[in-house]
Structure 1
Amino acid sequence: MLADGTIGEEELRYLADLYAAEVRTSDDAIGSFLDGLAERGLLDSSIVAFLSDHGEAIGEHGWIGHGIFHEEILAVPLLIRFPGGEWAGRYSEPVEHIDLAPTLLDRLGIPIPEGMQGASLLPLLRGEPAALAPDRMRVSQRAHGIGLSFADAPGLRIYFRRTPSGPDHLEVFDLGADPSEEHNLAADPASRETWMPRLERYLEWTRSRVAEDRAFRVKGSGIQEEDKGMLRALGYLGEEE
């Protein structure tokens, strides 16, 4: 996170310019890739999907990078081009990465394996009712703690973060009235009865998973020390793992 005064406005603008340049470079590369498919006569027989794993915070909410659950991290592009430009258009419904694999399988006529997470987006594209779940929970578990996020039915976004040391951190935002997530409603008694029961259920779920999760710790899993070092550098492992 940003400490007070450690990064000024000029530095933030510089970081934003670097990020914009990276996006432009990616955009140019995507254009070249699509042009290459077209030149080879492959574009109209191909399904092409582009997406991002996460966004980046550049000073928003006192943060640089990713690893938090605000909209600048969660809201990422998902672009799919079907053969012949089928179903071309923009869709505002909330979808997620886990919907991509069942969508591609469905379009190719391949049965979606039982138990696969996510839902095919083809019904949505056809204008039919889609079995999407806009209130899916996001979980981030790292060496420095666990974070939860979910969108409640009334349009509230709930963030909860728990670390090994220090108090729990809770933020609640009304995305409709406050899309920039600047006004924390966590202390608002009028809204607590709306989201608190679900948060408590999610916390109970995470507690029930602790023992199971330990079985998947890196210790003894056969991951090489070189790979562990890379994971530590990225913040996905603690020093003891």
Structure 2
Amino acid sequence: MTRPNILVICSDQHHPLMSGYRGHPYVETPNLDALAASGTAFTNAYCNSPVCVPSRMSFMTGKYASDVDSWFLYIPLDRAETTWAHRLESAGVPATMLGKLDLCGDYQDAGFGEHKIIERRPAWSPYPRRTPLLDRLDGYVRPDKRAHIMNSGVRAGLITDGSDGHNDKYGFYDHDRIVTDWAVDYLRDKGRGDRDQPWALYVGLLFPHWPYCVPQEYFDRYYPDNIELPFDASFPNESLHPALRHFQRGQGIDGLTEEDVRRTVAAYYGMITALDDRIGQIIDELKVQGLYDDTYVIYTSDHGESLGEHGLFYKQCSYEGSVGVPLIVRGPGLAMGEACEEPVSLVDLYPTVLDMAGLETESDRRGHSLLPLARGGEQVREFVFSEFHGNFFKDSWYMIRKGDYKYTHYCNERPSLYDLAADPQEMNDLAADPRYQEIVAELEALLRTQVDPEATALRAKHDLGLIGPDGEDYTRTLTVTDVHEGRRTGRFEPEPELK
């Protein structure tokens, strides 16, 4: 074979440290461990926006989420944007998508020649929004977030069609079972086909995304004692940065008990092990069909999961558990059993996939191919970047990781700075320390070479209905109650439909 095949497996909401190959004392991931032993594990990998849709639009296009105006969920991608699937198809490499990719609205294929999904996310209509997005206003509390934690544990013991995965009784176990079966069937077909025709397959699995429920056998591996309780897990946590305390209040999780956390952590661990079993099925089929040696494999997740760390659950913030992701790359000619500590991000997937196919990357893409690092080469990037413009935060934030330092710029709030080498749990914010002011200034200047944070935040607010016709910033002046009253009186239009 002159050109290898490409297999990309993307899970959803996988904490970067919660795998056996990362040294976790309890989480069992033998298949990911074997994949890491056969390739390179990137131990400082980040998503470019820690929520599903913007992260995926970034790694599909090789651009930052703000480059393509992907601020939050329910926002469609412009069909004019080129994805790596478009590039592969144009070069004669058939590309197939199975499972979750999370485009919104009518445009679902993302340039893949074939695609099959179970759950299609709709888009707001009309969009841009003409009524304020409540999720970013004072007084917003999302009730289902607390409910997921209170209902965590064992999944109902029945088989579903996978389409009701957000239900706390079922979760995404059946979704992943079905998508894995699709992937296995695809690989069997390729095993019978033309071995000289390279192909690309994207598999979108949903574990360990909430709801936190898993079959009994997986839950029992960890509950009640085979877990690590999260650090700094106070509910409420009054020591949080003001923007993060606002986030915690929006989750509605004040007053959680140790038992609530213990049960949820055990279920999450079980979800990771169930995910690992699915990945094992796919890799095993590659080997059975004699395709493994001729296939590049990438495993990653769209973002992480805080899982109680700092008193937070879910994603959305710039702490390591949320913005960090697992990332493994293996394939022909790449190093085996290596751990690369250089900071990288998911925007690097676009040039990496093109490099695997022998294609050049356009000059307007933000990332760099990971293959030189996976061959033992030197780092070519100076820093990594992430951003967030969605729910639970009144204002946008932007993160720069350079060397050991992580800087987060919060619009209309003070910044934060952590030395991750000395303080990997991010307990000691250095931003106000006079000894670190030069580093803060350097990293803010670096951030501004990538994006105008205030102008970009304003664009996001305009699109999300948060700027009034006279320029009023509703995140500064309105509460959720005000908007409800404004809808009643006709000041604001009804909530846009989802289509």
TM-score normalised over the length of structure 2: 0.39
Matched, 1:187 2:436: no
Picking from 65, 68, 71, the partner of 2:314 is 65
Q: 1:97 to 1:7 in 2, by over 3 A?
A: same
- CA distance in 2 between counterparts of 1:129 and 1:200 reads 25
The corresponding residue for 2:32 is: none
Picking from 395, 403, 418, the partner of 1:173 is 418
* Structure 1 contact 121–130 (Cα < 8 Å) conserved: no
The SS at the match of 2:255 is: coil
After superposition, the C-alpha distances for 1:12-50 in whole angstroms (9 at most, x for unaligned) are: 111111110111011110011101111122222222211
- CA distance in 1 between counterparts of 2:417 and 2:298 reads 33
Gaps of 5+ in 2: 1-144, 146-234, 238-253, 466-493
* Structure 1 contact 103–122 (Cα < 8 Å) conserved: yes
Aligned amino acid, residue 101 of structure 1: Y
Picking from 219, 233, 236, the partner of 1:3 is 236
Query: Which segment is superposed worse, 26-35 or 53-62?
Result: 53-62
User: What is the percentage of aligned positions where both structures have the same residue?
Assistant: 29
The corresponding residue for 1:141 is: 389
Picking from 362, 374, 385, the partner of 1:125 is 374
The corresponding residue for 2:401 is: 151
Aligned amino acid, residue 384 of structure 2: R
Shift of 1:198: 3.3
Gaps of 5+ in 1: 220-238
The SS at the match of 1:23 is: helix
After superposition, the C-alpha distances for 1:49-102 in whole angstroms (9 at most, x for unaligned) are: 11011111122122111100011122221112214x732222222211111221
The corresponding residue for 2:137 is: none
Shift of 1:193: 2.5
* Structure 2 contact 305–315 (Cα < 8 Å) conserved: yes
Q: 1:68 to 1:130 in 2, by over 3 A?
A: same
Give the paired residue count. Answer: 214
The SS at the match of 2:366 is: coil
Q: 1:62 to 1:32 in 2, by over 3 A?
A: same
- CA distance in 2 between counterparts of 1:140 and 1:211 reads 13
Q: 1:142 to 1:240 in 2, by over 3 A?
A: farther
Which of the pair has the greater relative contact order for Cα pairs under 8 Å at 6+ separation? 2
The corresponding residue for 2:73 is: none
- CA distance in 2 between counterparts of 1:201 and 1:44 reads 41
- CA distance in 2 between counterparts of 1:110 and 1:7 reads 51
Picking from 50, 72, 86, the partner of 2:334 is 86
- CA distance in 2 between counterparts of 1:240 and 1:169 reads 32
- CA distance in 1 between counterparts of 2:381 and 2:337 reads 19
Q: 1:218 to 1:171 in 2, by over 3 A?
A: closer
Q: 1:43 to 1:127 in 2, by over 3 A?
A: closer
The corresponding residue for 1:18 is: 267
Q: 1:80 to 1:140 in 2, by over 3 A?
A: same
The SS at the match of 1:138 is: strand
Shift of 1:146: 0.8
The corresponding residue for 1:226 is: none
The SS at the match of 2:321 is: helix
Q: 1:211 to 1:60 in 2, by over 3 A?
A: closer
Q: 1:200 to 1:6 in 2, by over 3 A?
A: farther
- CA distance in 1 between counterparts of 2:297 and 2:420 reads 31
Aligned amino acid, residue 205 of structure 1: D
The corresponding residue for 1:198 is: 443
Q: 1:86 to 1:190 in 2, by over 3 A?
A: closer
- CA distance in 2 between counterparts of 1:170 and 1:202 reads 12
Picking from 28, 47, 56, the partner of 2:305 is 56
- CA distance in 2 between counterparts of 1:25 and 1:177 reads 34
Aligned amino acid, residue 148 of structure 1: Y
Aligned amino acid, residue 198 of structure 1: L
Report the structure number with the largest CA radius of gyration.
2
- CA distance in 2 between counterparts of 1:197 and 1:132 reads 16
* Structure 1 contact 160–171 (Cα < 8 Å) conserved: yes
After superposition, the C-alpha distances for 1:101-150 in whole angstroms (9 at most, x for unaligned) are: 211211221122231221012222233334223x2221111253211211
The corresponding residue for 2:347 is: 98
- CA distance in 1 between counterparts of 2:293 and 2:440 reads 46
* Structure 1 contact 152–195 (Cα < 8 Å) conserved: no
Q: 1:212 to 1:184 in 2, by over 3 A?
A: closer
TM-score normalised over the length of structure 1: 0.77
